[in-house]
Amino acid sequence: MAAKRFEGKVAIVTGASTGIGLATTVQLVHEGAKVVLVSRSQDKLDAAVAEIKAKDGQVTTLAADVSQEATSKAMVDLAMSKYGRLDITNEMVDTVFATNFKSAVFGFKYALPAIEKSGGQGSIVVNSSVAGSVASASPLASGNNAYAASKAAVDMLVKYAAVEAALHNTRINSIAPGTVRTPIFQVFAPGIQDNDIDELAKGIQLMQRAASPEEVARFTCFLLSDDASFVTGSVHLVDGGASLVM
């Protein structure tokens, strides 16, 4: 793997203060990107920046709700005004329809013209879920029909958006993680402790454990990078084999 795949690139990561979003931001910065971090809580964003330990000028933050169209415009405007370009975005869509589907639509609407204006090939990765690809009888899936449906909608949106994005020299893909040690797992098992997630994963993933955020982030960064320059319109399962046994 090249040490600096994102040298000279500018990225936006939403949901960047915790979990997969934070791990992806760390990886992007490590490989040379300048990153706009977007999340609801400024306090969590400040903590994320401290954890990243980025050099001055490599990261900036925007505390806002990504389910609002104004946020999508504001984060693109911030990237363009501060860094003068936009190359890649990683959309973390973690709740139900208001955030999952609408934030992806708004993100595409404002990011694609900015990426095209910046020149070069752009890349957008949307974080979906294995729940959007495979129905499950697992007790963990009980009561989460709306969550699963919203992820399936996002995956289909990615495929259609990829057709239009190709006209803007931009690739769009989604990743569909299985069980990951992140706060979003509380959606499926409220009150669960981190050290219990691996135990639960044994029954629903072939790998017999949960993924770390860093494992998912590495695959995300592959799709965002030029290493995946011929990959677009695809949904990629990063689920430890969960889709084979659900």
Tokens of 53: 């330990």
Beta-carbon-side half-sphere exposure of residue 23 (alpha carbons within 13 Å):
18
53 is catalytic: no
Between vectors from CA 147 to CA 142 and to CA 148, what angle results, nearest 5°?
Answer: 80
Of the residues 9, 83, 110, 147, which is catalytic? Answer: 147
Choose, from 151, 159, 160, 202, the residue flagged as catalytic: 151
Among residues 113, 222, 107, which one has the least CA distance to residue 168? Answer: 113
Distance CA 165, CA 239 (A): 26
- Per DSSP, helices labelled H in the chain are 19-30, 42-52, 69-83, 97-118, 145-165, 194-201, 213-224
In 3D space, the residue among 57, 63, 79 whose CA is nearest the CA of residue 16 turns out to be 63
Q: Are 99 and 63 in contact (CB under 8 A)?
A: no
The reply to whether 151 belongs to the active site is yes
Q: Catalytic site residues?
A: 147, 151
